[in-house]
């Protein structure tokens, strides 16, 4: 059917109907970003041939995705996500987990689909204007540690030093901070500015953060770039650390503290500000991946610390005028999903618990977001499912377990993960510290994307994030 003037309308309609969605994927180190992006892209590329892989992504289930392909992202400020390398690792024999995210990476997909609404093929408008729309999906993967730097923008060097030192002297951190604090005792804030001393204090502080992360599984490691530097033109911008200040005191000109202060300020100006400005400009939707199971297993201190880190991250995505990201940079992120990852470590009922726990951890911002007409939700997912559910009789009791091949192993094992609480556990809940989750071997991928990747709830997460764009 041809109507007069319709050719003039087409570009206008295409402008309204065809969209670009910028989806940012973040999470603390090891939370599962690389695996998530790999599985997401691979499964979307396979959605045309194997829509059954994504039954809860409505556009796929309704067989409305007609074509999917990779395209080159515009601009080269951000390194490309190396999908060929991550897929090659998962397609190796035996399959390997790909290398993790240490700096921002970007990948872009184009999805051609039949719209479901007024532009659907059967509707008169669809018949006239053509019933195929296009979604460009830009995926940005970046270290979640960098989000922890947002509060620094409001803090002076003295304030930040005081808060960080207070935290470092408490709980599990105290023993790890000893070498660094001893060094600071020998090189007080008022001592002469000396580049060597500043560098050494920074190195000891960095080693302390590394130990917090690897030995105690703590999440609040600040500044975010100290362990995930990314590409820095001048690494010396990082050569600072907190120093003890008497309340109300200022760094004396020419002192070690003054040198640290000026580096702290230039870190904020040249690294933190531009990062958040870029994030605010280039992101519409956000998924934050959280390894809740690892923190639960690492014990009370690690779990409490993860909650603190999450609260700091939530500060970035608090919606409406009060949100810091919105106030500082005018961000317009309208959907945020917090997803507990690696849910294939627990059987079906525990996955429901995990989802409830994640939702509970973000309940307050979910309510606030609704008032600002934005959406926040919690989910539990496994981007790559490595286990099956099973039942095992232990001490005469039937228990739900997961069954999978441990990395490097020869035989599948049954793993009973215990009970995931549905709300953040009270103090009495924590028993013996237990960091016992096995690393399971991933299933071997068919590199051609025909078959997609087995997952749990990846499709539900995608539907939450993209359903309106694929409608
Ligand atoms: P990143 O640092 O956030 O990029 O984390 P990665 O995506 O590299 O994931 C870190 C590790 O977590 C991987 O090497 C896997 O061992 C494990 N992992 C990630 N996602 C999954 C998953 O869906 N299931 C299972 N069983 N393990 C996962």
pLDDT of residue 8: 59
161 CB within 6 A, ligand 1: no
Upper half-sphere CA count for residue 381 (Cβ side, 13 Å): 31
Backbone angles phi, psi at 113, to 5 degrees: -145, 160
Q: How many helices (H) and strands (E) does the chain have?
A: 17, 11
Convert the pLDDT of each residue in 131-154 to its tens digit: 789 999 999 999 999 989 988 988
The per-residue pLDDT for range 153-206, each reduced to its tens digit, is 889 999 999 999 999 999 999 999 999 999 999 999 999 999 999 999 999 999
d(CA 104, CA 230): 7
pLDDT reading at 253 higher than 90: yes
379-394 burial, b if ≥16 CB within 10 A, otherwise e? bbbbbbbbbeebeeee
In DSSP terms, 336 is beta-bridged to 286, 376
Question: Per-residue pLDDT tens for 100-111?
Answer: 988 889 999 999
Pocket probe mutation, ligand 1, options 33, 40, 79, 97, max atoms within 8 Å of Cβ: 97
Q: How far is the centre of ligand 1, averaged over its atoms, from the C-alpha of 263 (Å)?
A: 34
When computed from its CA atoms, the radius of gyration of the chain, rounded to whole angstroms, is 24
The confidence score (pLDDT) of residue 13 equals: 57
With 90 as the cut, is the pLDDT of residue 69 above it? yes
Please check the confidence at residue 126 and state whether its pLDDT lies above 60: no
* Cα 249 to middle of ligand 1, angstroms: 45
pLDDT, tens digit, 9 for 90 and up, residues 167-177:
999 999 999 99
CB atoms within 10 A of CB 51: 19
- Kindly give the distance from the C-alpha atom of residue 32 to the centroid of ligand 1, in angstroms, as a whole number: 4
Q: How much distance in Å is there from the Cα of 213 to the middle of ligand 1?
A: 16
Give me the chain's average pLDDT, please.
87
Mean pLDDT of the region 114-120: 74
* pTM of model > 0.75: yes
Question: For 235-241, what is the mean pLDDT?
Answer: 93
Distances (CA, A) of 415 to 343, 399, 420: 13, 10, 14
Angle between helices 83-91 and 33-45 (to 10 degrees): 90
The preferred substitution site among 26, 27, 35 for testing ligand 1, maximizing ligand atoms within 8 Å of CB, is 35
The answer to whether the CB of 99 falls within 8 A of the CB of 34 is: yes
Pick the residue whose CA is nearest to atom 20 on ligand 1.
Answer: 32
- Tell the residue nearest (CA) to atom 17 of ligand 1: 32
Ligand 1 pocket test, candidate residues 24, 28, 29, 32, most atoms within 8 A of CB: 32
306 CB near ligand 1 (under 6 Å):
no
Q: How far is the CA of 248 from the centre of ligand 1 (A)?
A: 45
Is the minimum distance from the CB of 344 to ligand 1 under 6 angstroms? yes
Per residue in 361-378, pLDDT tens? 888 777 777 777 778 889
């Amino acid at each position: 059917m041809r109507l007069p003037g319709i050719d003039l309308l087409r570009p206008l309609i295409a402008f309204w109907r065809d969209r670009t969605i910028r989806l940012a994927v973040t999470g603390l180190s090891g939370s599962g970003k690389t695996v998530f992006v790999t599985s997401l892209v691979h499964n979307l590329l396979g959605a045309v041939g194997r829509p059954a892989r994504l039954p809860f992504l409505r556009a796929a289930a309704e067989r409305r995705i007609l074509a999917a392909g990779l395209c080159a992202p515009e601009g080269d400020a951000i390194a490309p996500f190396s999908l060929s390398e991550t897929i090659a690792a998962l397609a190796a024999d035996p399959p390997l987990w790909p290398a993790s995210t240490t700096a921002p990476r970007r990948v872009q997909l184009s999805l051609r689909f039949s719209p479901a609404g007024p532009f659907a093929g059967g509707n008169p408008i669809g018949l006239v204007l053509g019933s195929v729309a296009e979604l460009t999906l830009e995926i940005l993967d970046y270290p979640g540690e960098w989000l922890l730097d947002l509060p620094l923008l409001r803090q002076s060097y003295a304030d930040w030093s005081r808060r960080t030192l207070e935290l470092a002297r408490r709980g599990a951190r105290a023993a790890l901070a000893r070498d660094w604090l001893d060094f600071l005792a020998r090189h007080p804030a008022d001592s002469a500015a000396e580049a060597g001393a500043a560098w050494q204090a920074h190195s000891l502080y960095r080693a302390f953060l590394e130990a917090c992360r690897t030995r105690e599984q703590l999440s609040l490691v600040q500044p975010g770039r100290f362990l995930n530097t990314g590409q820095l033109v001048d690494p010396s911008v990082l050569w600072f650390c907190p120093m003890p200040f008497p309340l109300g005191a200022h760094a004396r000109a020419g002192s070690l503290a003054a040198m640290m202060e000026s580096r702290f300020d230039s870190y904020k100006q040249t690294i933190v500000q531009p990062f958040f400005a870029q994030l605010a400009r280039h992101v519409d939707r956000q998924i934050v991946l959280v390894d809740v199971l690892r923190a639960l297993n690492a014990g009370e201190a690690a779990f409490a610390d993860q909650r603190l880190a999450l609260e700091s991250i939530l500060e970035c995505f608090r919606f409406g005028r009060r949100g810091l990201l919105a106030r500082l940079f005018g961000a317009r992120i309208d959907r945020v999903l917090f997803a507990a990852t690696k849910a294939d470590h627990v059987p079906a009922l525990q996955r429901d618990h995990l989802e409830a726990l994640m939702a509970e951890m973000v309940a307050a911002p979910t309510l606030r977001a609704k008032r600002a007409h934005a959406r926040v939700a919690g989910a539990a997912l496994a981007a790559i499912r490595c286990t099956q559910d099973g039942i095992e009789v232990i001490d005469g009791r039937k228990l739900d377990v997961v069954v999978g091949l441990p990395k490097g192993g020869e035989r599948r094992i049954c793993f009973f993960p215990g009970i995931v609480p549905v709300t953040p556990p009270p103090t009495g809940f924590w028993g013996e510290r237990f960091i016992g989750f096995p690393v399971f071997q991933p299933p071997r991928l068919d590199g051609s994307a025909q078959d997609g990747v087995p997952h749990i709830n990846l499709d539900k997460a995608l539907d939450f994030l993209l359903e309106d764009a694929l409608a």
